[in-house]
């Protein structure tokens, strides 16, 4: 995600073409984000409450009769979402609160909703949504899903537990208890330890409790699990999807801060934390989790490279070895496990990390760029990823290509041309960009698109985008934006610090393209 060298053929843009407060706005934002680095090097930004998990926990409290005060707080939170503009949130909130009947809630267009998730997850996500709706009394019993929806083959640990819990929930609902094996139950029970949230994931935790609740002899485990979940109840009464993704936020913040000229001391503090959190090769999204992912590993690797590639060469080498072991024969990278389908966003993340290694990993980088070019759509976008903004994968692919552009007809050049055209074609009249075509502008999508345009010859589109972005800055320097994180796909969630991180990253990239700021600034 760090800036690529600006080609000599692209002159610096005149700073005068951009908002006069650009230097001051960048400084305020950088100071705000730098101030969020805690003594242990972490940039913490707990996830906000989400309707999905809040509704599941309230249904569990209704089933068990436990924790009435916590239930009341949950009900207050869900009541604020009864008329949510998000159709699924509105449906889940009303169902959990005992609103409209199941028959009137069924018209959710499940196929359209799941179109925002990768195709290879479709069967599992259909089953998950079916199970959730059944638990809330918001779906008819239309038939037990195809067994393929519960196949653990090739799944990482989180997905194995999730599909097993969903299978058990649906088996209870359809009177098919024989479908639940002792191995299934042992797997579910293995995630339950009082006071410890397995892998930091509330959705999986609550799914497991719902799977265990109907079984004899499980009351104590379920009660302990409820208390564990309630330790994460937010001040607004709701429950988040995950406890946090602070390792991911910290790593990306480090890249943004370095790009925007943060002092060496800040980078060193963050780097020391990342070194402490490295697993045998990669990093997970939170210190609570053990499963490493390509996205966090790539960001942490770039952060260590920017902090000091010589000092951190051992950790960087371990991370590179971890990434290259995951690269598929098609040149792409999955999110978690070798052998899983390649994904464009993860491939772009890994390619940016590989580009730190110069010619040493050139073959792996070339293969990744070839894969990205093959997956890019004619309009410049890519398949859905872990963001609800199509500009997310686009900017990361653009950066990966810009680090090794090659000749005019190379795959990297094609990626850049298509991505740039998408950004130019989709800019809104207010200067910003929205998540999808026709959507209102938001700061995160605008930051992504602005990074894509830093390799464009003309400054005018970037200047208009910058002007919009600065209108979203608060007095304390932070940035206001709608959330765009997704997990599990296609369910959205909110990590507020990411708007600060990616806006600072965009402004840092922009500064690399501008004529030098006055010394008095």
pLDDT on residue 108: 54
| 105 pLDDT tier (thresholds 50, 70, 90) | very low
pLDDT on residue 5: 86
pLDDT on residue 87: 86
How many domains in the chain?
2
Mean pLDDT score, 60-79: 97
Does residue 215 share a domain with residue 83?
yes
Mean pLDDT score, 474-480: 98
Does residue 417 share a domain with residue 502?
yes
Within a domain: residue 39? yes
Within a domain: residue 382? yes
Phi, psi of 35 (to 5 degrees): -70, -15
Token pair in block for residue 502 = 């990616």
List C-alpha distances in Å: 510 to 293, 400, 465: 29, 17, 11
Does residue 281 share a domain with residue 218?
no
Mean pLDDT score, 375-386: 95
Within a domain: residue 4? no
Nearest CA among 393, 385, 391 for reference residue 424: 391
Mean pLDDT score, 90-97: 92
CA distance 434 to 441: 4
Does residue 110 share a domain with residue 31?
no
Does residue 258 share a domain with residue 235?
no
Res. 149: pLDDT tops 90: no
- Residue-wise pLDDT for 203-231, tens only, equals 999 999 999 999 999 999 999 999 999 99
Does residue 129 share a domain with residue 35?
no
Mean residue pLDDT across the chain: 93
pLDDT on residue 144: 76
CA distance 393 to 423: 12
Res. 139: pLDDT tops 70: no
Helix, strand, or coil (residue 168): helix
Within a domain: residue 1? no
pLDDT on residue 120: 63
Q: State the greatest distance between any 2 C-alpha atoms of the chain, in Å, as a whole number.
A: 75
pLDDT on residue 19: 97
- Residue-wise pLDDT for 405-462, tens only, equals 999 999 999 999 999 999 999 999 999 999 999 999 999 999 999 999 999 999 999 9
Within a domain: residue 521? no
**Dihedral angle over CA of 56, 61, 67, 69, nearest 10:** 70
C-alpha radius of gyration, the chain, whole number:
23
pLDDT on residue 278: 98
Does residue 282 share a domain with residue 411?
yes
Within a domain: residue 12? no
pLDDT on residue 424: 98
pLDDT on residue 123: 79
Nearest CA among 33, 411, 57, 375 for reference residue 238: 57
| 107 pLDDT tier (thresholds 50, 70, 90) | very low
Helix, strand, or coil (residue 242): strand
Where does residue 24 rank: exposed (0-12), middle (13-18), buried (19+ CB within 10 A)? middle
The size of the chain, in residues, is 521
In which domain, by residue range, is 397 found? 26-47+244-513
DSSP string, 20-81: TTHHHHHHHHHHHHHTTB-TTS-B--PPPEEHHHHHHHHHHHHHH---HHHHHHHHHHHHTT
- Residue positions annotated with a catalytic role: 295
DSSP string, 278-321: --SS---SSTT-----HHHHHHHHHHHHHH-TTTTHHHHHHHHH
Does residue 285 share a domain with residue 191?
no
Q: Convert 299-310 to b/e letters by CB count within 10 Å (16 or more is b).
A: bbbbbbbbbeee
Token pair 């093959």 is found at 374
Does residue 119 share a domain with residue 42?
no
The DSSP call for residue 372 is H
Does residue 39 share a domain with residue 88?
no
Given 216, 240, 264, the domain boundary residue is 240
Within a domain: residue 298? yes
| 521 pLDDT tier (thresholds 50, 70, 90) | very low
The number of C-alpha atoms within 13 Å of 265 and in the hemisphere containing its C-beta is 5
List C-alpha distances in Å: 53 to 83, 243, 249, 436: 18, 12, 22, 26
| More confident of the two residues 86 and 306 | 306
Q: What is the CATH number of the domain that holds 351?
A: 1.50.10.20
CA distance 9 to 27: 29
Does residue 285 share a domain with residue 250?
yes
Given 208, 240, 272, the domain boundary residue is 240
Q: pLDDT above 70 covers what percent of the chain?
A: 94
CA distance 71 to 59: 9
Q: pLDDT above 90 covers what percent of the chain?
A: 83
Res. 102: pLDDT tops 50: no
Within a domain: residue 20? no
Phi, psi of 25 (to 5 degrees): -65, -40
Given 182, 216, 240, the domain boundary residue is 240
Which of 82-91, 163-172, 269-278, 286-295 is predicted least confidently? 82-91
Token pair in block for residue 77 = 């939170």
- Residue-wise pLDDT for 390-400, tens only, equals 999 999 999 99
Does residue 32 share a domain with residue 78?
no
């Amino acid at each position: 995600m760090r800036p690529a060298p600006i080609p000599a053929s692209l002159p610096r843009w005149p700073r005068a073409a951009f908002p006069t407060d650009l230097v001051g706005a960048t400084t305020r934002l950088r100071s705000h984000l730098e101030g969020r680095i805690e003594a242990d090097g972490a940039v913490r930004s707990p996830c906000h409450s989400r309707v999905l998990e809040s509704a599941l926990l309230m249904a569990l409290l209704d089933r068990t009769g436990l924790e009435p005060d916590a239930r009341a707080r949950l009900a207050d939170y869900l009541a604020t979402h009864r008329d949510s503009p998000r159709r699924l949130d509105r449906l889940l909130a009303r169902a959990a609160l005992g609103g409209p009947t199941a028959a009137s809630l069924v018209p959710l267009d499940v196929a359209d909703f799941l179109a925002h998730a990768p195709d290879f997850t479709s069967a599992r996500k259909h089953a998950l949504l079916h199970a959730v709706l059944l638990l809330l009394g918001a779906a008819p019993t239309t038939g037990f899903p195809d067994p393929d929806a519960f196949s653990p083959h090739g799944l990482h640990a989180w997905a194995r537990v999730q599909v097993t819990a969903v299978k058990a929930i649906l088996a209870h609902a359809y009177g098919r208890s024989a479908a639940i094996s002792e191995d299934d139950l042992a797997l579910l029970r293995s995630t339950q330890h009082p006071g410890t949230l397995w892998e930091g994931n509330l959705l999986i935790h609550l799914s497991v409790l719902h799977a265990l609740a109907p079984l004899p002899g499980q009351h104590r485990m379920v009660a302990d699990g409820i208390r564990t979940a309630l330790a994460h109840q937010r001040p607004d009464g709701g429950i988040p999807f995950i406890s946090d993704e602070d390792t991911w936020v910290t790593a990306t913040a480090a890249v943004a801060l370095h790009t925007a000229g943060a002092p060496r001391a800040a980078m060193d503090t963050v780097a020391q934390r990342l070194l402490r959190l490295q697993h045998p090769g990669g990093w997970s999204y939170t210190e609570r989790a053990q499963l490493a992912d390509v996205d966090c590993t790539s960001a942490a690797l770039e952060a260590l490279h920017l902090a000091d590639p010589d000092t951190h060469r051992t950790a960087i080498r371990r991370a590179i070895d971890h990434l290259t072991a995951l690269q598929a024969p098609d040149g792409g990278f999955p999110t978690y496990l070798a052998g899983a389908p390649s994904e464009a966003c993860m491939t772009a993340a890994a390619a940016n990390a590989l580009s730190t290694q110069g010619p040493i990993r050139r073959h792996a980088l070339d293969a990744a760029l070839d894969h990205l070019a093959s997956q890019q759509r004619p309009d410049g976008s890519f398949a859905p990823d872990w963001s609800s903004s199509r500009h997310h994968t686009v900017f990361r692919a653009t950066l990966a290509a810009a680090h090794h552009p090659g000749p005019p007809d190379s795959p990297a050049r094609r990626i850049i041309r298509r991505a740039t055209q998408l950004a130019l074609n989709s800019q809104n009249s207010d200067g910003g960009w929205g998540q999808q075509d026709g959507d209102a502008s938001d700061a995160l999508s605008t930051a992504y698109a602005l990074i894509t345009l830093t390799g464009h010859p003309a400054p005018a589109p970037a200047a208009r985008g910058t002007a919009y972005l600065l209108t979203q800055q608060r007095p304390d320097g932070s940035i206001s934006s709608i959330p765009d994180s997704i997990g599990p796909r296609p369910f959205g969630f909110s990590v507020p610090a990411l708007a600060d991180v990616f806006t600072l990253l965009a402004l840092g990239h922009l500064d690399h393209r501008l004529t030098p700021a006055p010394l008095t600034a």
